[in-house]
Amino acid sequence: MNHAAPALSQSLLSAARAVAAVEGGQSLTEALADTPAHLRPSTQALAFYAMRHWGEAIAIRRLLVQREPSSPVIGALLGLSLLLLNVAMQAEGDTRDPAAPLYTAHTLVDQSVQATQLQRALENYKGLVNAVLRRFQRERDQVLVQIEDDIEARWNHPAWWIRALQKAYPDQWQGLLQAANQHPPLTLRVNTRVSTREAVQEAFAAQGLAVTPVGPAGLVLQVPRPIASLPGYDQGWWSVQDAGAQMAAPLLNIAPGMRVLDACAAPGGKTAHLLELADIELTVLDIDADRLARVEQNLKRLKLMRPGVRLVAESAIRSHLWWDGVPFDAVLADVPCTASGIVGRHPDIRWLRRPDDIAQTVKLQREILDSLWSTVAPGGKLLLVTCSIFPEECEMQAQAFLARHNQAERLDAPGQLLPCVPGTEFPAGHDGFFFALFTRRI
């Protein structure tokens, strides 16, 4: 069914609800899940923009609103509208984020006020929204001067996060924060079991879609599109996977017939990659049964759901419940982490995390790693992967693991892969990852 473009007021309200849900602790993906189809693209664009600029939004709002509104949705609507109004009022020639949604100041004020009239419980906030936005129009220059020294507004990350990166990366923290505020590219990994990179490239070119090769089997799409509309999606020619993540599975150097464990597998990006690389016996484990169901869907689409693949919804820590005692030749431990390396792709993560999350994930990772280590065969390998850039979850975790296990020997692996901006290491940006490879001495 074709729908006319929704009114801006509807999209603003819908995005404000999503942002308020993130402020309440929900992930943006979950918060957007129930958005009606006709509102989805505009809501998503506004909510993602808000999350990438939320430090600035909060700083401006704090100056203009004496008391936080009791409605979180109104708080979020004010933050979002102030951000967009700021863009609208930028003078000709100002450096403007090319990704910023652009409306006239008049439309924004009008539509933000209209947004309060779309839900009965918000009607009373009409005057407040109108007054705050008009005050910003009058006082914008002074407001922007006042937030100049606010580091959260400057870098659009929580202060504790900025300080953690300053400590860990005294020379690179600014570049890392900049990279986290950029839009990452859409990167695909060709399923070499059913196609070749050249064939996929040709199919994309036939539809006027430019792609650039990356790594052994990757393709970077210059202009991202809805995934299911791209050539070869239904046929399983490729998976969406960041260029950094594509480095994981080959590090285990698997060969046909090996017994392999993918221990934290969902949604299955690396599971599929392992199965593309060799005919192995693969145990696919994840604690979350719903997420594991997505692995199965993905493997079916990619035509990789074959005999020898066993899916188990259990905790890696409770190996007595899923391990038959026969050791694995290779174990992939893509452990849960703060996901600090993928905040470019998921800009809500930085606002959802709390400083003590690092210590909590470090503890969980340690328990998972120790449990998995007992399943590794002599001469077998264990690959620790995180999509984090906090050293506690990465290099420090790897060193502590080595110190606990005297039979473990560290092998060559890329170590800390920092998220990068286009042009530095890859043809396009990639996420932040950590890889540490261990073998059990014979």
Ligand X SMILES: C[S@@+](CC[C@H](N)C(=O)[O-])C[C@H]1O[C@@H](n2cnc3c(N)ncnc32)[C@H](O)[C@@H]1O
Instruction: Examine residue 315 and tell whether it contacts ligand X (CB under 6 A).
Output: yes
Instruction: Examine residue 293 and tell whether it contacts ligand X (CB under 6 A).
Output: no
Among the listed residues 270, 345, 381, 430, the single contact to ligand X using CB under 6 A = 270
- Judge whether 245 and 431 are in contact, CB under 8 Å: yes
Instruction: Examine residue 97 and tell whether it contacts ligand X (CB under 6 A).
Output: no
Instruction: Examine residue 288 and tell whether it contacts ligand X (CB under 6 A).
Output: yes
Respond yes or no on whether the N-terminal peptide bond of residue 267 is cis (omega within 30° of 0).
Answer: yes
Instruction: Examine residue 317 and tell whether it contacts ligand X (CB under 6 A).
Output: yes
Give the CB-side neighbour count of residue 25, counting CA atoms within 13 A: 1
Q: What's the CA gap between 248 and 404, in Å, rounded?
A: 24
**Which CB atom, from 269 or from 347, has the smaller least distance to ligand X?**
269
Instruction: Examine residue 397 and tell whether it contacts ligand X (CB under 6 A).
Output: no
Helical H runs in 147-168?
Answer: 151-155, 159-168
Looking at this protein, which amino acid is placed at residue 225? R
Among the listed residues 56, 276, 329, 334, the single contact to ligand X using CB under 6 A = 334
- Judge whether 76 and 47 are in contact, CB under 8 Å: no
Closest distance between ligand X and the C-beta of residue 211, in Å? 21
- Answer yes or no: 387 catalytic: yes
* Whole-Å CA distances, 343 to 25, 32, 51, 420: 16, 17, 10, 12
Among the listed residues 185, 268, 341, 419, the single contact to ligand X using CB under 6 A = 268
Closest distance between ligand X and the C-beta of residue 278, in Å? 17
- Judge whether 23 and 51 are in contact, CB under 8 Å: no
Minimal CA–CA distance to 411: which of 441, 432, 433?
441
Which residue in the list 337, 387, 394, 420 is annotated as catalytic?
A: 387
Closest distance between ligand X and the C-beta of residue 6, in Å? 33
Name 187's bridge partners.
Answer: 220
**Which CB atom, from 334 or from 393, has the smaller least distance to ligand X?**
334
Instruction: Examine residue 296 and tell whether it contacts ligand X (CB under 6 A).
Output: no
Instruction: Examine residue 191 and tell whether it contacts ligand X (CB under 6 A).
Output: no
**Which CB atom, from 10 or from 241, has the smaller least distance to ligand X?**
241
Go through 113-130 and write b for each residue having 16 or more CB atoms within 10 A of its CB, e for each that does not.
Answer: bbbbeeeeebeebeebbe
Closest distance between ligand X and the C-beta of residue 203, in Å? 24
Instruction: Examine residue 265 and tell whether it contacts ligand X (CB under 6 A).
Output: yes
Among the listed residues 23, 56, 242, 286, the single contact to ligand X using CB under 6 A = 286
- Judge whether 376 and 327 are in contact, CB under 8 Å: yes
Closest distance between ligand X and the C-beta of residue 322, in Å? 10
Candidate segments 47-55, 265-273, 374-382, 417-425, binder of ligand X by CB under 6 A = 265-273
**Which CB atom, from 73 or from 275, has the smaller least distance to ligand X?**
275
Instruction: Examine residue 266 and tell whether it contacts ligand X (CB under 6 A).
Output: yes
Among the listed residues 185, 267, 341, 429, the single contact to ligand X using CB under 6 A = 267
Minimal CA–CA distance to 375: which of 339, 329, 342?
329
Instruction: Examine residue 316 and tell whether it contacts ligand X (CB under 6 A).
Output: yes
Among positions 363-382, residues that touch ligand X (CB under 6 A) are 368
The DSSP call for residue 430 is B
Minimal CA–CA distance to 259: which of 331, 307, 325, 329?
329
Helical H runs in 374-441?
Answer: 395-404
CB closest to ligand X, residue no: 264
Sheet holding 218-221, edge to edge: 211-214, 218-221, 186-190, 238-240
Size of the site for ligand X (CB under 6 A): 19
Among the listed residues 55, 244, 336, 419, the single contact to ligand X using CB under 6 A = 336
Instruction: Examine residue 333 and tell whether it contacts ligand X (CB under 6 A).
Output: no
- Judge whether 389 and 340 are in contact, CB under 8 Å: yes
Q: What's the CA gap between 296 and 312, in Å, rounded?
A: 11
Q: x/- string (CB under 6 A) for ligand X, residues 245-264?
A: -------------------x
Residues of the shown chain interacting with ligand X in the complex, contacts defined by CB under 6 A: 264-270, 285-288, 291, 315-317, 334, 336, 368, 387
Positions marked catalytic:
387
